[in-house]
Amino acid sequence: MARNSEKAHSMLFRFRAAQAAEAGIIDISRTRRPKLITSVTSIPVCEKWRGQVLKEISRKVTKIQDEALSDYQIRDLNDEINKLMREKHMWESQIRNMGGPNYMRGGRVLDEDGKEVPGGGKGYRYFGRAKELPGVKELFERQQRPEDDAGIQKGREKRSELRQKIDAGYYGYNLDEEDGTLLAYERAKEKEAWDNFMLLGDDLNEKPSKAQLEWVEVPGDAGDGVRWNVPTLEELLTTTFVAPPAGVYLPPTLGRLAGEEFFLLLSILMTLNNASQSAPTVKPITMDDKVLTFEEFILSPLCRRATSTYDSAMESKPQVPWYSVDKAAFNAALKELVTMIDDCLKGAPVSDSELQDLDRTAVSLCQMNRSPPVKVALLGAQGAGKSLLINAIFDRDMLSLTGADGKACTSSTTSYVSLPRSTTGSDMFHAIIRFVDRTKRQAIIKEHARNYYYFHNVDADLDDDPDDEPTTHRDASSDKLKDTAQEFFTTLFGAVDAFRDSWNVAAYKSGEFIRLCEWKCDEALEDEKVDDKNITTRTAPNQAALLEKIKPFMASIDNRRCLWPLVDGIDVAFHHDISESGVTVIDLPGMNDTNLTRARHAENIMKAANAVCIVVDTIRVTTDDELITLVRKAKAMHGVDNVKVILTKIDDLSSNQLKQCVGPKFNHVNHLLDELEEMEAAFEAEEDQDLHKRQHIEWYRAYLENARKRIKILDRAADIDRKLAVMFEGRTEKDSIQVIHVSASDYMNWTTGPRIPYNKQSALTVELTGIPTIRRELYELPAAQNLKDYDRHLRTIVHTFLKKIKRAIRDDQRDAGFKMMADDLDEVWKGFMSGILTQAKNSFRISFNKAFKDILVGIPTLKDQLGEKVTSQWLSLHSATFLKVVKCNGRVKKGVSQARGLKEGCNWNKELANILAPCLANWESKYNCEMSTMALCLPKVVRQLDKKVSEMIDASRSNLAIHERTKKKWQPLQSHILFKIKILMEAVPPLVKSMYSFATMETDQETNLISQTTDGIFADVFDTDPAEKPSVPGQVSKKKRYVTPRLPFKKKLLEKSFLDPNDHFIDHVLAEFQSDFNEALDKLLDEHFAGIDTLLTAFSDSLRAQADITYRPTAEGRAIRADLAELLPQLEEKVTALEKMLPPRPKTEEDPALAAAFDDYDDDDDDQSLAAIIEKISKKRKAEPAVATRAKRQHIKSEPV
């Protein structure tokens, strides 16, 4: 199709232009307005030019109301309006002189107060904010004051005559004040007013006084005790009338009133109507309401409504039990409890260790031990809008670095953590910048150096091979890797020339360049005052100032040294309710990082997070292939409930796209817009134009355009939801991923400025922007954890402290036998638990080996498959393709390279994982069966501990009372230990699943078992070259000459690395898998058995605390104990009140498995090892007959013949 410029020169276009010129038709959009108005002799043409001038005047009169304009801009704009007014007058004069209509015969010109302007408003006029300019404002105020001549005409004195009569009394030197006459009169009047006020009743329902009987009842006071029920402005702004109240007259000029007059009139009408009948029917304004016509819009509170900025502090919290707790009252009650105890323990003797321990630990009652914050990772591509989303979530503009300048945004992992509120009232913003350690720095430097070397030297030393394709072609991925490497080294050396001077192939291969880069890193970190923990800090009074300081650590900034490639992470600390509730938001760098080390680092952070929010641009959501992979990976790591998909820029629609909106949903809005066009045309043709109506038309246009855009956005969101439901393929509603549509830019518009004019309000309401929804999701994440922390603190720490007080004040509960009992108990359980932990680790290894047998048998088959893969596929690749894959550590993404065989991408690590996947799947199934047997055996071992402790108690030298009290305390502890064992066994299957996914790359993760081994192989193959031939005297060769051809040498080295019989890849990776799994399982066992040891230690300490004290209490100590005894009931009441502040604990039924763990105990299990019990249970399970699956034979009753 031809361009417009080409169409303009066509013969048909010029022919039609000539016809239009002959007919006197002028296209205003293509013609300049003539400066010599008298040269235009056609009335229709003059009217068109006049209409264009009127439109410009209307637009500039509206613009001059903008509060954001400076005084200079207002002056220029006012001059332009006056110039246009003069031009309009000249066009009207020309039209009248040619016999056309007289547009100059207008109505009266009124000012803002409704007064007629003398002279019809001729001369220089001031519009909008121009009336408030310095010098102009005083001019208008002076005109409002009466002139001296006008006063003389009305018989008043001149100002000069008035000034002659001024005396000392005018300046306040009154004789009445000096003699006290005026003060006495004022005191009398004040007393009279006070006496009249005291005669009034306290309530309207009381017997009225004499003064009240003389009052006239005001409309609205019906004698029911309610005086004027005047609605607030917020009530008027959030409601709309369905119909006028019965009996109340609405004037037809209601739409012409100013904003304040309009709301005042509505308030009066509602107030007057309240006395005789109920209040008018109102309904909240929702997005489902029909689009209003122009007449309905004028009478609606939507008209001319300037809205206050949005305050996120007014948002409602999620409907969960945690947010029903009055945390301020709870913390205040805890502090009051501590104060009571501290006051009672003042003056405790230093020699009284028991009272000193109470005094020392009382502070811990008001120090809540909170669980680690919930980590929420934001993951998405560069430019998806993560940074702007963070600014909107925290209501802090310029908190995160956005891509407003067109460059890449945050390139470093940034965490937004909590900071306690400042006691001085000025909250500061802090940043902690953590740099990578020396080992990671070296890996990053090596990877960038290799990419740079590959780009410039990959084909320089290759031998000529007629069968290979030329390697001079470089794809976009090589360019990108080279640019990233060059940017990294330029940052280190300070300038690109300094880097190029230091770079050469010999220095790279010898390692000298790598060492030089490490020294440059050390120098840069020393300049930033990095401590021995690789940390530096920054502080600022606000987020904008802090961002300016940490920009170089987040992204590349022009003319500044940027160290973001060396940054491990940044913690931005400030006070916010979301962070204070226990949420840490982590902004991960954009996906598809070319540096593999940084990409794996970001993946590890994502894995360590508790929840993941995948941020995707709405425009690319249905075509983004990485989205499905990323969602699958996040679901495998965190589960469906902890993964959200956030679609940003849902409102990114151009005016052209909105004009193309057609269909049943848009017909009504489009029809109203067409009617508005006709209304505007008719209004322009009116002689007496009403400025209020013009403003109403402009507001109504904004209203209709916002309504059309809102309908399009909601329809677009619904369509995307349907497509994503098909892409994610959730089997049930529980398996579906929650999708949140967000417009961070619209939300930020609602939060800027003191008030938002109607014509600047966004099409989406605050709720429809999606930001409040995200905040509610964030608030809900730590709710259960926070409630559990409060409950544990109250029912564990506080209750334990009360028990300590009871032991301190009651001597009759003490006995020296408790210490002997505790010592004997420690001797029993410490040796027993240590032995059980060793047995458990050995038994888990035995179970692993049993499940691993089939894999060991099938190793020859696996080796044959790998040999076929390496020899027939990998080694048959051409030189460029082979080196490209090896350089990229075996993985080239689809579409990244155009080399032969790589257009669809390749992943050698995934191919290796696919070979191992069937065998590992079989291992996973068998190992889980072994764990089902283990789950039955561990409780039996715990039963041995119970029996040993019972025997120890019976054999103890303590008295019988101590025996019974110890047994009574020991019984509940058994259930706690069994519960710990159950939690341990429930944690094993997720660990097995995680290790299986880690080994088979089930979710295509960058960090996996295969890459741990292949990274070293690929790096060795790429960097190792054969020995060079000795140079021939007198000959200079541009290429290096090798003893063995370079490419065959590298392929042979790769084959040996994978298929060497003495160190085969299959043997190595399976041994690595076994080692990693056993290490992870040992860590899991140590963690859970440490929890059991903590329980038993606390039990021993509680027994030991009941022993006799080894000192004689002083008189002060006995007095304090007596005070504590008197205070104890009050403390218990306080604790009971605290318990009522928390929601009741849900009733949990006793686990039948835990109850049956002791019931199914055989006396033969005593003193048997865990391995023996496992073998016994396994034989018993094998001996049990399998459940028959064949259906029973049905006997059909036959009827007698």
Could you read off the pLDDT of 587-629 as tens digits, one per residue?
988 765 556 666 777 778 888 888 999 898 888 777 767 778 7
For residue 1051, with 0-12 CB atoms within 10 Å meaning exposed, 13-18 middle and 19 or more buried, which class applies? buried
Report the number of distinct structural domains present in the chain: 3
310, 341, 365 - which closes a domain: 310
Provide the token pair at 260: 């304040």
Q: Which residue has the higher pLDDT, 1068 or 1041?
A: 1068
Task: Evaluate whether 62 touches 698 at the Cβ level (below 8 Å).
Answer: yes
At 697, phi and psi to the nearest 5?
A: -65, -40
Residues 6+ apart with CB under 8 A from 407: 555, 556
How much is the pLDDT for 776?
A: 93
For 11-55, how does the pLDDT look when each residue is reduced to its tens digit (9 = 90+)?
A: 777 777 677 666 555 565 567 888 888 888 888 889 888 999 999
Query: Is a pLDDT exceeding 90 seen at residue 774?
Result: yes
* 248 close to 272: Cβ distance less than 8 angstroms: yes
Residue 288 domain-assigned (yes or no)? yes
Lookup: tokens for 182: 């005026």
Closest C-alpha to 764, from 779, 781, 746, 751: 746
In this prediction, residue 487 has a pLDDT band, given cuts at 50, 70 and 90, of: confident
Please give the pLDDT value at position 582. Answer: 92
**Which H/E stretch holds residue 670?**
helix 664-685
* Residues 516 and 372 sit within 8 Å (Cβ to Cβ): no
474 domain residue, yes or no: yes
C-alpha to C-alpha distance for 236 and 299, rounded to whole angstroms: 12
Does residue 8 form part of some domain? no
pLDDT at 873 over 60: yes
List the CATH number of the domain containing 127. Answer: 1.10.287.660
Please state which of the ranges 196-205, 406-415, 502-511, 802-811 shows the lowest mean pLDDT.
Answer: 196-205
Q: Please tell me whether residues 146 and 223 are part of one structural domain.
A: no
Q: Give the per-residue pLDDT at 786.
A: 92
Cα separation, 213 vs 228, whole angstroms:
19
Residue 497, pLDDT above cutoff 70: yes
Q: Which of 194-203, 611-620, 844-853, 871-880 has the lowest mean pLDDT?
A: 194-203
For 496, the token pair is: 């690109």
Query: How far is 978 from 1155, CA to CA, in rounded Å?
Result: 9
* Average pLDDT, integer, range 914-930: 89
Query: Which of 170-179, 351-360, 838-847 is least confident?
Result: 170-179
Bridge partners, 616 (sequence order): 647
Of 216, 37, 1149, 59, the C-alpha closest to 694 is 59
Alpha helices in 870-1008 (DSSP H): 879-887, 908-954, 960-1000
Instruction: Provide the phi-psi class of 354: left if phi over 0, else alpha when psi is between -120 and 50, else beta.
Output: alpha
Q: Would you place residue 586 in the very low, low, confident or very high pLDDT band (cuts 50, 70, 90)?
A: very high
Backbone angles phi, psi at 765, to 5 degrees: -70, 170
Q: Are 31 and 144 contained in the same domain?
A: yes
SS3 416: strand
Provide DSSP, 1169-1185: -HHHHHHHHHHHHHHSP
pTM: 0.70
CA–CA separation, 658 and 711 (whole Å): 10
Query: Which residue, among 1063, 389, 1092, has the nearest Cα to 741 in the 3D structure?
Result: 389
Radius of gyration of the chain (CA): 43
Same domain flag for 443 and 517 = yes
Alpha helices by DSSP H, 1105-1141 = 1115-1141
Instruction: Report d(CA 587, CA 410) in Å as an integer.
Output: 8
Q: How far apart are CA 619 and CA 613, in angstroms?
A: 18
| Pairs from 494-502 (Cβ < 8 Å, separation ≥ 24) | 494/561
More confident residue, 584 or 192: 584
pLDDT value of residue 121? 56
In this structure, is residue 899 part of a structural domain?
A: no
What pLDDT is recorded for position 942? 78
Residue 220's domain comprises: 210-310
**Distance (Å, rounded) from C-alpha 152 to C-alpha 147?**
9
Q: Is the pLDDT of residue 859 over 80?
A: yes
Q: Are strands 374-380 and 307-308 parallel, antiparallel or unpaired?
A: unpaired
Q: What is the pLDDT of residue 82?
A: 92
Alpha-carbon 539 to chain mean position = 23
Compute the distance between CA of residue 819 and CA of residue 801 in angstroms, rounded to an integer: 20
pLDDT at 741 over 50: yes
Q: Is residue 58 part of a domain?
A: yes
Residues 258 and 138 in one domain: no
Give a yes or no: residue 243 inside a domain. Answer: yes
Helix axes 596-608, 438-457, angle to 10 degrees: 140
Comparing 220-234, 509-523, 575-589, 828-842, the range with the smallest average pLDDT is: 220-234
Q: Is residue 553 classed exposed, middle or buried when 0-12, 13-18 and 19+ CB atoms within 10 A define those classes?
A: buried
Asked whether residue 52 is assigned to any structural domain, the reply reads yes
pLDDT at 1137: 92
Q: Tell me phi and psi for residue 240, to 5 degrees.
A: -135, 140
Of residues 274 and 632, the one with the higher pLDDT is: 632
Residues 129 and 238 in one domain: no
Phi-psi region of 551 (alpha: psi -120 to 50; beta: other; left: phi over 0): alpha
Residue 301 has pLDDT above 70, yes or no: no
Last residue of a domain, one of 310, 340, 355: 310
Dihedral angle of Cα 377, 379, 382, 388, to the nearest 10 degrees: -50
Write out the DSSP string of 598-628: HHHHHHHHHHHSSEEEEEEEGGGGGG-HHHH
Strands (E), 362-476: 374-380, 414-418, 429-435
Give the 3-state secondary structure of residue 711: helix
Q: What is the mean pLDDT of residues 916-927?
A: 90
**Average pLDDT in the 909-936 region?**
89
Higher pLDDT pick, 288 / 1090: 1090
Report which residue type is found at 823.
D
Mark whether 214 and 285 lie in a shared domain: yes
In whole angstroms, what is the distance from residue 1142 CA to residue 1028 CA? 79
Nearest residue to 270 via CA among 216, 221, 219, 231: 231
The residue among 287, 310, 333 that closes a domain is 310
Q: pLDDT at residue 1149 above 70?
A: no
- How far are the Cα atoms of 370, 429, 604 from residue 415, in angstroms, in the given order? 19, 13, 14
Which pLDDT tens digit goes with each residue over 1044-1078?
888 889 899 999 999 998 889 999 999 999 999 99
Given phi > 0 = left and psi -120 to 50 = alpha, else beta, which region is 172?
Answer: left
Q: H helices of 326-415, where?
A: 327-345, 353-361, 386-393
User: What is the C-alpha to C-alpha distance for residues 760 and 62, in angstroms, rounded to an integer?
Assistant: 12
Query: Per-residue pLDDT for 580 more than 50?
Result: yes
Enter the DSSP assignment of 110.
Answer: B
Answer yes or no: do 133 and 219 share one domain: no
Query: 1004 in the Ramachandran plot: left (φ > 0), alpha (ψ -120 to 50) or beta?
Result: left
Comparing 134-148, 220-234, 648-662, 705-719, which segment has the lowest mean pLDDT? Answer: 220-234
Query: How many residues belong to the chain?
Result: 1201
pLDDT computed for residue 589 by the predictor: 82
- Give pLDDT tens digits for 225-272: 444 455 555 555 455 444 444 444 344 444 444 444 444 455 555 544
Our CA angle for 683, 687, 689, nearest 5°, is 55
DSSP reduced 3-state for 1091 = helix
* DSSP of 841-903: HHHHHHHHHHHTHHHHHTHHHHHHHHHHHIIIIITTS-HHHHHHHHHTTTEE-TTT--STT-T
The per-residue pLDDT of the chain, averaged, comes to 78
Q: Is 956 helix (H, G, I), strand (E, B) or coil?
A: coil
Q: Which residues contact 629 (CB under 8 A, 6 or more apart)?
A: 1003, 1004
Which tokens in the block code for residue 627?
């989205």
Assigned domain for 732 exists = no
Residue whose tokens read 């000029």: 253
